[in-house]
Amino acid sequence: MKTRLALALLSAAACQSPGSDAPMTHSSSALPPVCDTRPKELEAHGDVRIDNYYWLNNPDDPDVLAYLRAENAYTKARMAPTESLQEKLFQEFRERLQETDETVPVVRGPYAYFTRTFEGKPYPVHCRRPASTPDAPAEILFDVNALSEGHDYYSLGTREPSPDHTSIAYAVDKRGRRIYDIEIKNLHRGDIERGIRGTSGNLVWAEDGQTIFYVKRDPVTLRAFQVWKHRLGTSQPLDELVFEETDEEFSCYVTKSRSKKFLFIVSDQTLTSEVRALDASSPDGPWQVVLPRERGHEYSVDHAGDRFFIRTNRTAENFKLVTAPTSDPSNWTEKIPHRLDTLIEDVDVFGTHLVAQVRRGGLIHLVVHPVDGEAPFDPFEIEFEDPAYEAGLSGNVSFDTRKIRYTYSSLTTPDSVLELDLDTGLTERLKEAAVGGGFDRSEYVSERVFAEAEDGTSVPISLVRRRDAPKPGPLVLYGYGSYGSSMDAYFSSNVISLLDRGFTYAIAHVRGGQELGRMWYENGKLKKKMNTFTDFIACGEHLVQAGYTTNGEMFAMGGSAGGLLMGAVINLRPDLFHGVIAAVPFVDVVTTMLDDSIPLTTFEYDEWGNPNQEDDYRYMLSYSPYDQVSAQEYPHLLVTTGLHDSQVQYFEPAKWVAKLRATGTGKSELLFDCEMDAGHGGVSGRYDRLRKTAQSFAFFISLLDR
């Protein structure tokens, strides 16, 4: 539920001025499916809840599948009048998309690796060529279009070349449940080694070029919990278990220092982390704990020279950076001190410099520091101009480099890849995404405004609209607000279809993210979770009061934990928004968190609370969207999910919709769309994703006439 995946899934939610496109109309031939009630008593702490729809938690039950298909048929019938609009929107998206394109190459050793897309092809083609001859023909590593043939879902995940670049290990998910098979392709002979199954898709190579370490998932909870060692040419039964995370509140993953000197096993959960290190050239050697886990201590490790670089929150709420000898990781020297106004999100270490990605004033800043104490230059910051934007390091594989590559976009600036040369001080724009369809950024304006929350806290809102858009007008407000995941103001060419129809698109930076530092997160979790919901409500109210929109033209959207936000908000203020999209929504909070066999449960107790403890149970119950459904008129609602979702199980939104149908009053639209061959990220092909976005746009647009 954590990543930008949910945001990417939802970056569209659209509206349009009334009158130009056909709205949905009621049809007597399309009646909502009736979900059988099969009451189940759920008891905790002396409290008995009756769940009439618990039976939907069984994807092997023919009745469940029949019900989901009936909901899909109903949604298709209700959306039928918008089919021409959906097609129009889809074509607009394609016009803006540079379908035949190539990414900026990333140099790894002797090769430059890059990805191509082709017009009419739904999947990318991954390639490489010798770095010394940029005009050489591309060597195709993976044509995902060919690989996906015969599969309803196909995702090619991690792709890691061996240190000598003669082989490449990669992860494949053919179901959408984020359970990957790992395969190893010999790039000289073309043969493929198979048999590693049930993994998280995470893997690293040792420097011998013959050994990979990978992470397995628990087959029931899907927790990433075991690190295994595999040698080329051996079958999986001979693989060696090198680490098992036995604490069910933790998961683990493997990574490698940019210096290529160390491999790391990272165990972490919401509040605590622990790192183990191994000499990358000695894959059979012992793993050493860098710093033993202590509850509440979060840290990460990188390496340069004879030192570890440790980002830590010990006595540093917003984190600090320290160094320590690799032989004595507890012997710290402070490198970047803690600041109350600056959150250190990440640090990338290179041979001569390091780059800290920090948040200050709710925005990302990239600060360059020398690695050594004898500073060859003073720390400096890379400048950005827009009032709200997204930026981050990307493609910096080489350790011994004097160049810093980063990405940048804003609500009005397409995705760009830039590179700063530390020796010359010059910045080169390596690529800016081409946007077709007559896009002219000067026709749009972005702003950053603030709403006042219930407790007086100022909550930032980033928004974009056409300069000539009328005020008030239709507006879509997006929110997430969980896991400390900050929602930045990035560019989406699809959203232009909203803006060109007079819409404002806005992002509410509510508590639960980390936009304004660690306390922004701490004040939006556990028993302060209600702040996330009331912040979002305050943002909606402010946008109406400031004249950007009206209640009858304002829409909301969120996915995953942002779907929880949507569910809580419409229970608290069903009158505030005219329509809402909740994608893969986490809405049955208490029941899910009481079931430790469900993925993502045990190691999220420090995010939501542990309902096995009565005070946590009572607080979680007070906002759980499914439990708080009541007899009131809700806004128009479109709910989406995937049958194979491993993050938020399909039955949560299915139950929620069934209960809303039975309990809610009024005549608002209630649609449920369950992808039968997808998971948390939705469909896998790019054109299928665009069509789903067009459906979301059309849903909101049609509501403006109602």
Active site residues: 560, 645, 680
**CA distance to 42, 91, 200, 497, 675, per residue, from 95 (Å):** 52, 6, 36, 11, 26
Hey, what's the torsion of the CAs at 24, 25, 27, 33, to 10 degrees? 50
CA distance 9 to 581: 11
Residues shown for the chain: 706
- Would strands 180-186 and 554-559 be described as parallel, antiparallel, or unpaired? unpaired
The closest alpha carbon to 494, from 480, 510, 476, belongs to 476
> CB-based contacts of 578: which residues, under 8 Å, 6+ apart?
551, 552, 553, 554, 555, 635, 636, 703
Distance CA 412, CA 432 (A): 12
Q: CA-CA distance, 569 to 580, in Å (whole number)?
A: 10
Secondary structure element (H or E) that encloses residue 65, with its range: helix 62-79
Q: The tokens 């109903």 sit on which residue?
A: 74
- Neighbouring CB atoms inside 10 A of 188's CB total 8
Q: How are beta strands 636-642 and 579-583 bridged, if at all?
A: parallel
DSSP string for residues in 181-215: EEEEEETTT--EEEEEEEEEEEEEE-TTSSEEEEE
Does a cis peptide bond (omega within 30 degrees of 0) precede residue 472?
A: yes
Specify whether the backbone of 341 is left (phi greater than 0), alpha (psi in -120 to 50) or beta. Answer: alpha
172: left (phi over 0), alpha (psi -120 to 50) or beta: beta
Quote the tokens at residue 319: 């984190």
